[in-house]
A and B are shown apart, each in its own frame.
Chain A
Amino acid sequence: METVKTLDVSDIYMLVTGIVLGTAARLLTLKVDMRQIPSYPSAYFNNIIHGFIAASLGAIAIPALAAQDFTAVTFLTLAVTQFREARTSEQESLSKLEHTEYAGRGKAYIDGIAKTFESRFYISLLTALVSVLVMKVTGMNSIPQSIALGVVSGGIVIYLCYRFTKGRTVGQIFDVAPGKIEVRGSELYVDDMFVTNYLGTDRSRALFEKEGLAVVITPRTAASRMTLENYGQRQAILFEAVRALGVKRYKFMRRHFASGKVLIAFVPIFRDENRLLSAVKKTPILENSRKIQRIMKISFGGRHG
C-alpha cells in the first residue's frame, strides 16, 4: 500500500498507457481463424483478460521499482507462475478434448498451442513494461508526447516479439497439391501411390470414388522432409485437414517412403478442395519438428559434438 501512496499523476498515465498497450498486444496477437483456437467467444475473452492482467503486472513493475519497492520483482515471478499455469490448463483442456475430435491434435500440436499462448502473455507483459520504462526514463513533461513515445516503443516491442515468436506454416516449406483418387479393388491410391486397402466393400469404394478428397504434401528439401516425417507434425496436418471439412467416413494418412510425400485422403462432410488446401497450408510448423539448417550446422561441445 506504501507504493500506491507514492504514485502521482505522471505514474497513473504511464500505468494506464502501459496496461492499454499490453492488452492491445494480446488483442493484436489473438487470431480467431479457421483453426478456432482459442475458441470463440469464451476462450477468446479469457485470453483478453489474461492479457490485461499480464499488462498490469508489467506496467506496475517500473513505477514500483522507482518507488524503491523492490518486492515489485515478486510481481514478475507471480506473472511467470500465472502464465505457466495458463499453459498447463490449456494443455489439459485440449488433451481432454482429444477424443471428441475427428482426429486427435496429438501431444506435439497441443504443446505448441499451449506454448504459443504462454509466449503471447509474455509479449503483453514486455510491451507494458518497456513502454512504461521508456516513458519513465525519458521523463518528458508533456503528457501527450510521453504517451506517444510509450506507444511507439510498445509498438516496436510488439512487432519484434511477434516476429520472433511467429512460426512458419506448412504452405511455406512444402508443396501442397490436390491428389487424384483412384480405387483399385479394395486398394486406394492417390496420385498412383498406395494409401490403404481398407476399402473392402463396394459401398466404401463407391463412396470414396464419388466423394473422397485427397491432398499430397511434398517436401522441397531434405531438411523439410525431416520436418514432414515428424509424426507430431503429420498428425497436426491431418487434424487441420479433417477439422476444416469434417469427416463423413474414413480418414487415412500415409507416408510414401520413396518420394517423402505425405498423402491424406478422407471422405469429408463439406467437399471443398480449396478449403482443404488452405487448411493444410495454414497448419503451423511445430517447433519440435522444425529443423533449422543454421542451428543444425552448429557443432556443440567441440569438433565431434
Chain B
Amino acid sequence: MGKRILVYVTADDKRVAGGDPLTLIIQDRQEQQETITELGRALRADIVQLKNGDYVLIADNK
C-alpha cells in the first residue's frame, strides 16, 4: 500500500515547480496551520511538516 501527496502548502512561490498535487501558496503561518488542519480533516489525511516549514498532506493509496 503506497502513499500519495494530496496537497502541498508552502510560503515560498519559488518552490512551486508544477506537478500533480495541488500546491497552495500561503504566506501567513497561522493561516497555513489552519488550512492544512481543515484539509487534513476533510480528506482524512496525515499532515507532515517539512524542516523548511512547508506542509504536505499525505494519504494512503487505496
Contacts and interface: CB of A to CB of B under 8 A. Distances in A.
Contacts of A186: 47-50
B40 A201 contact: yes
A304 to B, nearest CB: 38
Contacts of B48: 186, 197-198, 200
B56 to A, nearest CB: 8
Contacts of A201: 33, 36-37, 40, 47, 49
Interface string A217-240: 000000000000000000000000
Contacts of B51: 185
Contacts, number: 31
Contacts of A198: 46-48, 58
Interface string B19-49: 0000000000000010011001000001111
Nearest to A203: B37
A116 interface: no
Nearest to A250: B46
A197 B40 CA distance: 15
A204 B47 contact: yes
A68 B55 CA distance: 79
A8 interface: no
Contact of B33 (A185, A197, A199, A202): A202
Interface residues of A, number: 10
**Which of A186, A198, A200 is the most central at the interface, judged by chain B CB atoms within 10 Å of its CB?**
A200
Contacts of A185: 49, 51
A199 B46 CA distance: 8
A235 to B, nearest CB: 13
Contacts of A204: 47
A13 to B, nearest CB: 59
A198 B36 CA distance: 13
Nearest to A197: B48
Nearest to B9: A200
B30 to A, nearest CB: 11
Contacts of A199: 47, 49
B40 to A, nearest CB: 7
Nearest to B51: A185
A165 to B, nearest CB: 34
Contacts of A202: 33
A86 B40 CA distance: 43
A92 to B, nearest CB: 23
A185 B46 CA distance: 15
A109 B55 CA distance: 37
Contacts of B58: 198
Contacts of B50: 186
A2 to B, nearest CB: 60
Contacts of A203: 37
21 contacts: A185-B49, A185-B51, A186-B48, A186-B49, A186-B50, A197-B48, A198-B58, A199-B49, A200-B36, A200-B40, A200-B46, A200-B47, A200-B48, A200-B49, A200-B55, A200-B56, A201-B36, A201-B47, A201-B49, A202-B33, A203-B37
Interface of A: 185-186, 197-204
Closest 9 pairs (CB-CB, A-B): A200-B47, A186-B49, A200-B49, A198-B46, A200-B48, A197-B48, A201-B37, A201-B47, A200-B55
